[in-house]
A and B are shown apart, each in its own frame.
Chain A
Amino acid sequence: MVTLPKLNELGFFEIRLESIGGLGANLAGKMLAEAGVTGASLNGVSFSSYGSEKKGSPVKAHIRFCDNHTNIRDTSPVERPHVVGIFHESLSKTVNVISGIYEDSLVLVNSNKSPEQLKEKMKLLGGTIAVVDATGISLEEKNRTNMAMLGALFRLCDFLDPEAMKSVIRKSLEKKYPQAVGPALQTFERGFNEVTFQTFELPVGQQMPAFVRQDTPMLGYETQPMGGVITNPGNSILKDLSISRAGMMPHFADDKCIHCAACDNVCPDFCFVWEEQPDKKGRPQMFLQGIDYQYCKGCLKCIRACPTDALSSAREEDGYADEHRTPHRFDLAVH
């Protein structure tokens, strides 16, 4: 019989995974939960944020573990996690990924940054930051990020047996994809082994911030226009979608561009910024100015469409997008 390290007042050990759709957090959460419930004689419940969230959009997975005598009644999202697993470091730009953590919670981040840097980035007051370069590992092992994250999560959830998980991975893959077994196990193993930890004590006199319920709306019945009508056309320009990029992005080389608009024709996210300028003969003509990375989801269709080398793909590096962004010049109603 395994013992859960911490329990909340209802008897649950709670885990929340923060990710963007497409990185496999849902599957990782499912496997983690099953490892506890069917593999470790715990009871539990697991679910993901649901709806029409698409690939690249922020998603959450929720897992509650308890012993076999605890009644499971709660269906509300995990607001006060003992463990948070963050699959995409940049998420903290737009999502409060550490919402509701305790001062002794474990926060696992897929990153190659130091715990200090991440503490700063996430504005964490106290808690233990665990770092694993899951993206790096998965690229090296030619496997999926979620396997490395799953390995690391097993390290954090030391009441679960990583060997049992490995045999599940083996069993689920060996029949259909025997060649995938080795890399998957290696990725899991490295995720498990390569986690580094650093604990930050909550400064004396400070309190952990209270959580804001996930079902808190932006507007209300006094401020929301009647009938759900949106009277603010095109206000989605306020959104920052850069977190949807899962590692790759296009680079633009102005000097190689022939301004043919092939990229503009295929871009699903309207990232190309054009301006009318006089051409060599002084006639007005459209010229591509650059990419508005705020909306680029990194699909790289533009690179395939580009008949020259003006567009190329590159691993996303911190700061590049901000530095090289050509913002759209919207006709704003408010300045």
Chain B
Amino acid sequence: MSIDLSKEQAGLAKVEQRVVYESGNEMAAYAAHQINYHVMGYFPISPSTEVAQFLDLMKSNGQHDIVLIPADGEHGSAGVCYGASTAGGRVFNATSANGYLYMIEQMPVQSGTRFPMVMNLVCRSVSGPLDIHGDHSDLYYALNTGWPILMCRDPQAVYDMNIMALKVAEDAEVRLPVLVASDGYFTSHQKRKVQTFANREDVHQFIGAQPPVGYPDTLDRNNPITVGPYMNEPDYINNCYQQSMAMYNAEHVYDRVRKEFADLTGRDYPILDQYRMEDAEVAVFLMNSASEIIKDVVDQLRAQGIKAGSIAPNMIRPFPQRAIAEALKNVKAITVGDRADSYGGHGGNMVNEIKAALFTHGNRDTLVISRIYGLGGKDFYAEDGHNLFQFAIDAMNKGVVDKPFDYYGHTPGDPAKSPKRVLKPMKFEDLKTGLITVKKDEETGKLSVRIPPLRSLTKKPKRIAPGHGACPGCGIFSGLELFFKGIEGDIVALFHTGCAMVVTTGYPYSSHKATYIHNLFQNGAATLSGVVEMFWERKRRGELDHLNLQDDFTFVMITGDGGMDIGMGPAIGAALRNHKMIILEYDNEGYMNTGAQLSYSTPMGHRTSTSNIGSVRAGKVFHHKDTAQIMAATHIPYVFTGSEAFPQDLVKKAAKAQYYAQNEGLVYGKILITCPLNWLSEDELGTEIIDAAVGSCFFPLYEVEHGVTTITYNPDEKDKRVPIVEWLKTMGKTRHLTKPEHVETLNAFETEVERRWKILLAKHENPYL
């Protein structure tokens, strides 16, 4: 159904409705807050992140009771949700794309052990070259997970399906987790008029104020249960059969629920949405947002006398096989658009299921054309809809399909505009200046580093080219290049997903003058380990001899603080294996690339989009992560912290880092950098803000060399200690902490900073600490 907000229709509702003007993500959050789930475990990923953000904002103002748990990654968020759902309450999550795939092993666990929950999949491409826009490639992975899947074509449907989904999930005949799928950006970020239940009680009346009882509950002490036993053949197939039955039950349960919902609200979502199909000869099948656009095209074709119609499912698991076969029985030709490929499958998942539906129900006559369209968020215009219909019209007229499978909307490109190299590779001799020397004292084992005046180092080419798209005043790039000033010779860099990656590699441009690799930000440390070990092995086999390398590469992994949350495990793994590489973390205290959500490195009380300031809660509620100490505990040769406010200190540490990464093993360094956009601070003050962070002892500059801690700048000794408040008042995200009503949070933060500083001082004094 498309939204029609005429008063007549609103009048069809039996319970009071109100109209809001909101996006799909806002509506998912709004429905969740009305349902008042018990627990949401989440991890930010575009474009679904906003769902948690809106819920956090409402939570900070006391508008719902949902316990929001920022997990360490999507795998963690799925774990949080699974655990919570075994414990008897209602559970909610939202994710997209790679995030969904990262949690996917949990999906059959959730469905196979039969714990209901609702998750929004705000659909986005899963890809190699990173595409963050909308298609259905993540959704298609969901097809085999055993979760019923409801589809949302617009923000209204996102709201309505979210409410119906829970009722389907908890139904006695189903008892399965349900996925609610909407189109990333097209639906998640476009605002529309949406009708909602005016009163939460009416929502609860519909879904039931409490989840149904009588099902496994890990908190029922009188009835201990074993969840998730070790079950092989011959029992497992029977568990699957139960699950299969439940899945097919979901179709008629949904049909009942949607009728009840339509009766209450006047908004009806039949399993298969049919538009002008009564006498249609040609049709197009599309899903979600595009299936709305195609209706305009149908109208235009009808006006030309062409008997056109369109169909779109509101549910694809279970697949509405009978309804589709029924709808197509008199259609001569249909174009099925799949917004994701099933590479090698001669069509996307939907076209093949539709063909199976026709075959199963005895229709051998309808001609089917398969087209893959709209990948990676490529827009779908009415013009495209006309072209899809034309394939069907041509087939109908000829009685045969010329090209059963193809892509639509791909472009060959103009050979005259093919990429031509712009810059020559950097010269090794320019990079190996000899200006920096690192020597090891054979007796003490200590490194002595000599660096020239920083002026001389401007001679060294920058590793990153100008023209990157970072925000004005972004601290990442000044920080990284200052670090690179201390590195001599060639590097191979790996960047985790994050701002630095996104703004330097917007296709077809790259700001990287040296070789660069991106991998998803839970896995960079492992990935670079692979590169490093391949280097040493190929070097050993003599396969790199022809390159006449004058020196070994320095392998550097660049990550944000987000990458050190979700990627903590692989980073520790790489550290324990002690590969010869550097992990450099730029810490801007949040997941800035996805819109400033809290990271574990966000300090207590700081405001982010998932630690909002409201009437009942202000800022992050737990302390910042001490990543440098975590990495130091892996006993790697060298750990350091640094900042652009202390340039000589950072350049020296870079030089040491390079020595260790070429000669001994893994180095971890953290630089604190500004994010003026999300710290709500002045662009020009970046260096000074960091200076104050160091001066307040929030971010002490030190190194841990072979386990021995040395503080390299002690503000107490220099009489330069800055009160924490002086640092906090430079940023909009923390200014509230300077006010009396937040003094408790401020004190807790100050106490923690002081405690960690004292520990560090003790370590500095004692080489065995």
Contacts and interface: CB of A to CB of B under 8 A. Distances in A.
Interface of A: 10, 21-22, 30, 33-34, 37-38, 43-48, 50-57, 68-69, 71-77, 79, 213-225, 227-228, 230-239, 241, 244-246, 259-262, 264-272, 274, 276, 285-286, 288, 292, 294-295, 297-301, 303-305, 313, 328, 330-334
A285 B514 CA distance: 26
A245 B684 CA distance: 13
A275 to B, nearest CB: 9
Nearest to B502: A52
Contact of A238 (B462, B467, B474): B467
B193 A238 contact: no
A227 B421 contact: no
Interface stretch (B198-206, B276-284, B411-419): B411-419
A68 to B, nearest CB: 6
A241 to B, nearest CB: 7
A75 B425 contact: no
29 contacts: A37-B21, A44-B193, A54-B474, A54-B499, A54-B503, A73-B295, A74-B382, A75-B293, A76-B380, A218-B413, A221-B412, A223-B417, A224-B413, A227-B128, A233-B421, A233-B465, A236-B465, A236-B466, A260-B454, A265-B454, A265-B644, A266-B687, A268-B473, A269-B470, A286-B458, A294-B466, A297-B473, A304-B685, A330-B422
A312 B189 CA distance: 41
Contacts of B47: 50
B472 A56 contact: yes
B467 A241 contact: yes
A70 B596 CA distance: 37
A76 B132 CA distance: 17
Contacts of B185: 47, 50
B556 interface: no
Contacts of B128: 227-228
Nearest to A69: B6
Contacts of A328: 466
B414 A46 contact: no
A22 B418 CA distance: 33
Contact of A233 (B6, B423, B688): B423
Contacts of A227: 128-129
A99 B382 CA distance: 18
Contacts of B472: 22, 55-56, 244-246, 268, 297-299
Given A45-B191, A50-B189, A268 B2 contact: no
B684 A300 contact: yes
B457 interface: yes
Contacts of B129: 227-228
B746 to A, nearest CB: 21
A76 B510 contact: no
Contact of A332 (B424, B462, B482): B424
B245 interface: no
Interface in B358-416: 378-382, 410-415
B512 interface: yes
Nearest to A302: B684
Given A264-B458, A272-B458, A299-B683, A233 B419 contact: no
Contacts of B382: 10, 74, 76
B511 A276 contact: no
A70 to B, nearest CB: 9
B596 to A, nearest CB: 12
A221 B425 contact: no
Contact of B466 (A224, A270, A288, A333): A270
- A38, A57, A215, A299, most chain B CB atoms within 10 A: A299
Given A71-B4, A304-B688, A266 B644 contact: yes
A231 B418 CA distance: 11
A75 B465 contact: no
Interface residues of B, number: 101
B118 interface: no
A234 B473 contact: no
Nearest to B479: A268
Given A265-B454, A301-B478, 10 more contacts: A47-B191, A52-B503, A77-B379, A217-B413, A235-B419, A239-B469, A241-B467, A266-B687, A268-B472, A268-B477
A78 to B, nearest CB: 11
A45 B4 contact: no
A300 B685 CA distance: 8
B750 to A, nearest CB: 27
B696 interface: no
- A217, A270, A300, most chain B CB atoms within 10 A: A270
A39 B468 CA distance: 41
Nearest to B192: A45
B510 A230 contact: yes
- A47, A54, A56, A236, most chain B CB atoms within 10 A: A236
Nearest to B515: A233
B186 interface: yes
A237 B2 CA distance: 46
B21 A221 contact: no
A232 B508 contact: yes
Contacts of A231: 419, 421
B273 interface: no
A295 B467 contact: yes
Given A218-B508, A235-B422, A54 B469 contact: yes
B440 interface: no
B415 A223 contact: yes
B607 interface: no
A79 B384 CA distance: 14
A110 B2 CA distance: 37
A71 B2 contact: yes
A234 B381 CA distance: 34
B189 A295 contact: no
Contacts of A295: 466-467
A247 B419 CA distance: 34
B579 interface: no
A303 B684 contact: yes
A54 B478 contact: no
Contacts of B685: 304
- A72, A75, A230, most chain B CB atoms within 10 A: A75
Contacts of A246: 472
The 7 closest A-B pairs by CB, nearest first: A220-B413, A228-B129, A236-B467, A299-B473, A223-B413, A234-B465, A297-B472
A21 B380 CA distance: 25
A52 B593 CA distance: 7
A159 B412 CA distance: 45
Nearest to A236: B467
Contacts of B414: 220, 223
Nearest to A270: B466
A73 B296 contact: yes
Contacts of A76: 293, 379-382
Contacts of A266: 478, 644, 686-687
B471 interface: yes
- B133, B187, B426, B454, most chain A CB atoms within 10 A: B454
- A76, A245, A294, most chain B CB atoms within 10 A: A76
A50 B187 CA distance: 12
A231 B420 CA distance: 9
Nearest to B427: A331
Contacts of B328: none
A276 B457 CA distance: 11
B488 interface: no
Nearest to B409: A215
Nearest to A274: B458
Contacts of A45: 190-192
A55 B454 CA distance: 30
B421 A334 contact: yes
Contacts of B415: 222-223
A244 B442 CA distance: 52
B186 A286 contact: no
Contacts of A220: 410-414
A27 to B, nearest CB: 13
Contacts of B293: 73-76
A203 to B, nearest CB: 29
